[in-house]
Structure 1
């Protein structure tokens, strides 16, 4: 994987040093510069052309949220937000994601284990975004739709967080109109963001798109999306299964949970299921791929260099440009 160049923006010199030192310990990530606010950041972006920006929410002068909006309007760039308040469910997080931030994280302060976990999650988010960019580049060479399949009866389950949306959209645009019944858990995405996603996909995706409801019968040629972040989505039985909505606390900080969805598919379909995790996924995404792979179903999840297919003890590398082809192959006779 090629080097990812990061610009760190924070009004605290100590925090800039902490974030920079931590990120530079991660392979293939290089911090190319630092800025103490929006004015200096504009200059550094023009000079250094970073691949990713980390941005503090609570900066003096122009706030991080206001600067994020400016960036997305004038010169779109992958941005990760840091704040004492950017935890799931806060207004800062919702607004940052609405504006286009690829990730929102608490500042890496506190006990060493907590700091390490935050930086590891940030590193995964950065690498996933970089992978999405490489996917787009590869798609320029191999972006054709996948031919119609002779469906083998397996359902397709997808888990996706905000950092994986670009990869998810590219994947869905390649699916044939007779794709397997597909149920998508969009982690922590509210209905406004989901409707915006469906609007963006309209006319670009061959299968029918639908918001799932409790009891929805899953049918071939349709892609069903979780209805907001208030409930989990699961598969009740297979074949002839339905989407079920569950009122339950978030799992690993996310709702709907990919791991709950994949576990329900493993229980309902056994070996006869296919799952894909887009984005960093966090602990929930890792559990999702693990539970489905251990059930000897096909489980695809993102890696630094593409994707990994796990089925039982068997593991196979899959390039980003080949993901749609391999997933449809797993769903075809």
Structure 2
């Protein structure tokens, strides 16, 4: 068995020890080295050639974001960021995901133990090894939004996980100011979703915000599920609203993509477009199948453009995906399906 080799980079000796111990508890992972700052890490990467790097965002000499940008530009490799669950940490984490980080994991805080905070880290490290190298996304201006769009009343529902920050930025930045009402569940810690919604809003002609319970679904608005204790659903008969439902984990997640898609099926049935993007696991696959059976159009991100071809793979294999497309074509297809001037499918 070939182990996944990891370099742990953190300025705190204690945190390096904790992260290393969590990773070494998995027999399929080997921590081949540690580093206390980016300068040491640079030499260790050259010497050890690890499969994956875990990288603290806040460090001396060069902060984690600067170092990540250099890695992704000069030597693209899987990097998992280790971040504090503060507002500053959330903003930095979103930027790291844009720059090409595989994923971000929050440090223990607020009564959350290290075992709880890092419970998914070994699985993410192993998935990172299997992922495709990503170049830094350093584009300045987002692409111009689509022109000549008139909404036809359809609701768009999107689900994503690992790799979803980059994918959603690509899609939502191409939406026009009068885009179809769009609801999104992206697996993300509670402290991160507000920052991500603001980031999407800055890059989009549409208005993007965290979903609020009771908010009406309107054209020109995109609603992002808040992380934490609720699932985002929609309800209504002639007009539709966001609902935040307190409930347990579904497929290991809260919010869950399946819960969102199931509510869309129950509420708008065929008058919807479902999209499943890059991510680990299978959350959303069954819900997307329900949407397709109800007559909705369904789209899955293809394998070559997915950071992790997990959720869209399962959805495709069970027959939930009507059309599988590269990321660059998904926004255009969604808008075509939701444009009153081009309702027919091809």
Tell me, in whole angstroms, the C-alpha distance in 2 between the residues paired with 1:217 and 1:119: 40
Tell me, in whole angstroms, the C-alpha distance in 2 between the residues paired with 1:239 and 1:124: 43
> Aligned in 2, Cα 1:161/1:313: closer, same or farther, shift over 3 Å?
closer
Tell me, in whole angstroms, the C-alpha distance in 2 between the residues paired with 1:316 and 1:328: 14
Report the counterpart of residue 6 of structure 2 in structure 1.
8
Deviation at 1:246, TM superposition (A): 0.5
Paired residues of 2:301 and 2:326 also in contact (CA < 8 A): no
Deviations 1:120-151 (A, max 9, x none): 755555666746x49x59x99x9443224232
| Structure 1, 241-250 or 277-286: larger mean CA deviation | 277-286
Report the counterpart of residue 326 of structure 1 in structure 2.
333
Deviations 1:286-323 (A, max 9, x none): 33434333434223333421376969676433122111
> Aligned in 2, Cα 1:244/1:260: closer, same or farther, shift over 3 Å?
same
Pick aligned residue for 1:72 from 65, 69, 72: 65
Deviations 1:244-287 (A, max 9, x none): 11111121222111110001111212222112233315232433
Paired residues of 2:289 and 2:320 also in contact (CA < 8 A): no
TM-score, with length taken from structure 1 = 0.67
Tell me, in whole angstroms, the C-alpha distance in 2 between the residues paired with 1:283 and 1:93: 29
Pick aligned residue for 1:35 from 33, 36, 40: 33
Deviation at 1:70, TM superposition (A): 3.4
Task: Please tell me whether residue 245 in structure 1 is matched to residue 244 in structure 2.
Answer: yes
> Aligned in 2, Cα 1:324/1:313: closer, same or farther, shift over 3 Å?
closer
Deviations 1:28-74 (A, max 9, x none): xxxxx943444653214467898x73328xxxxxxx57569932244
Task: Please tell me whether residue 170 in structure 1 is matched to residue 163 in structure 2.
Answer: no
Report the counterpart of residue 13 of structure 2 in structure 1.
none
Deviation at 1:159, TM superposition (A): 2.1
Report the counterpart of residue 297 of structure 2 in structure 1.
298
SS in 2 for 1:284: coil
> Aligned in 2, Cα 1:165/1:35: closer, same or farther, shift over 3 Å?
same
> Aligned in 2, Cα 1:155/1:193: closer, same or farther, shift over 3 Å?
same
Task: Please tell me whether residue 256 in structure 1 is matched to residue 255 in structure 2.
Answer: yes
Paired residues of 1:175 and 1:205 also in contact (CA < 8 A): yes
Paired residues of 1:151 and 1:331 also in contact (CA < 8 A): yes
> Aligned in 2, Cα 1:70/1:210: closer, same or farther, shift over 3 Å?
closer
TM-score, with length taken from structure 2 = 0.65
Tell me, in whole angstroms, the C-alpha distance in 1 between the residues paired with 2:328 and 2:158: 17
Paired residues of 1:103 and 1:162 also in contact (CA < 8 A): no
Aligned 1:86-235 pairs, distance under 5 A: 99-100=92-93, 102-104=103-105, 122=125, 124=127, 130=133, 133=135, 143-161=143-161, 163-190=163-190, 192-235=191-234
Tell me, in whole angstroms, the C-alpha distance in 1 between the residues paired with 2:214 and 2:152: 23
Tell me, in whole angstroms, the C-alpha distance in 1 between the residues paired with 2:35 and 2:126: 22
Paired residues of 2:180 and 2:218 also in contact (CA < 8 A): yes
Tell me, in whole angstroms, the C-alpha distance in 1 between the residues paired with 2:59 and 2:28: 19
